[in-house]
Amino acid sequence: MKKIAVIGCGNMAGAVVRAMNDSNKEGVEFLTFTPSKTRAIELAKEVGGSVLENLEDVAKADYIMVGCKPQQFSELAKMLEGVDLSEKVIISIMAGIGQLKVSELLSAPKVIRLMPSLPMEHGEGICLLHYSPAVEDSEKDFLSTILKKNSMLFELENEDAFDQVTVVSASGPAYIYYFMAAMEKTLGEWGVKKEDQRALVAQLFRGSAKSALQKSDMDLEDMIGQVTSKKGVTIEAIDRFRRDELSSGIQAGLEQAANRSFEIKKSL
């Protein structure tokens, strides 16, 4: 049985651990740690794991997932000085901190950067992966096995691309919720009941996403054409979106988010 120590048990780390546990309840033991122990206790109970009393005890694990806030990492690394992590596999879910820095500060050559998305807790996640050269194939396979049930996995060899794609895959749910909120507001103004607003809009996105996946060889502009007709109803909305350059605004937003990610990475 493999042991995974989890440092920091916030929303994202919790989602990853619950998804891993769902995929491999008998093959993984989780050891959780937070300074106050409150969230560590809660997460350990959920997955049948154990709470570590001392940070140094992460050395008992085969894999160590670092889920603290990026700005806390330097302090964490200092607290782990003297703990031999040279043979451990570090799984970093921290945004903005590169693989080389994680490796240098922890004196650990085996580093996996993992960027999950919260929907993985519902079996619909995305996980980006970037491996340091020292990570062995068997270690990659183990991690993939306990992630793939709840997420689509994408390995990126270029770390800059990893950070850029993160603003789509991991940040993306916020953009979807923003668009959904606009639709729900309009439906509410038209008299649709609140509970029906969420059900209607969520099903719209679910069904459209499935259709897009099943027709992945078809251009999205062509798919728009299948729903619209000249002088019809739907094209009125599409034409308005185009006049307002909504597509350009979305692209500009993604670029701005990616630039901010690089700024944070540089500052850390």
Tokens 């096995």 locate to 145
Calculate the dihedral angle through the C-alpha atoms of 220, 222, 228, 231, rounding to the nearest 10 degrees. Answer: 130
pLDDT score at 109: 98
Q: Are residues 80 and 186 in the same domain?
A: no
**Distance of alpha carbon 103 from alpha carbon 149, whole angstroms:** 28
Q: In the chain, how many domains are there? A: 2
Q: What is the pLDDT of residues 218-264, one digit of tens each?
A: 999 999 999 999 999 999 999 999 999 999 999 999 999 999 988 98
Q: Are residues 235 and 122 in the same domain?
A: no
Other beta carbons less than 10 A from residue 262's beta carbon: 13
> In the numeric block, which tokens belong to residue 94?
């921290």
> Pick from 134, 149, 166: which residue ends a domain?
166
Strands (E), 8-49: 28-33
The CA R_g of the chain, rounded to the nearest whole Å, is 21
pLDDT score at 25: 67
Total-model pTM: 0.91
| Residue among 30, 22, 70 at smallest CA distance from 52 | 30
CA angle 78, 84, 87 (to 5 degrees): 125
| Residue among 80, 7, 77, 66 at smallest CA distance from 37 | 7
State the CATH number of the domain containing residue 234. Answer: 1.10.3730.10
Amino acid, res. 15 = A
Q: What is the pLDDT of residues 62-100, one digit of tens each?
A: 999 999 999 999 999 999 999 999 999 999 999 989 999
Positive or negative: CA dihedral 16, 267, 99, 85: negative
Domain of residue 144 covers 2-166
Q: Is the pLDDT of residue 194 over 70?
A: yes
> Pick from 166, 201, 233: which residue ends a domain?
166
Q: What is the pLDDT of residues 20-55, one digit of tens each?
A: 998 776 689 999 999 999 999 999 999 999 999 999
Q: Classify residue 119 by its DSSP letter.
A: G
Residue 133's Cα: distance from chain center in Å?
22
State the CATH number of the domain containing residue 62. Answer: 3.40.50.720
Q: What is the pLDDT of residues 104-143, one digit of tens each?
A: 999 999 999 999 999 998 999 999 999 999 999 999 999 9
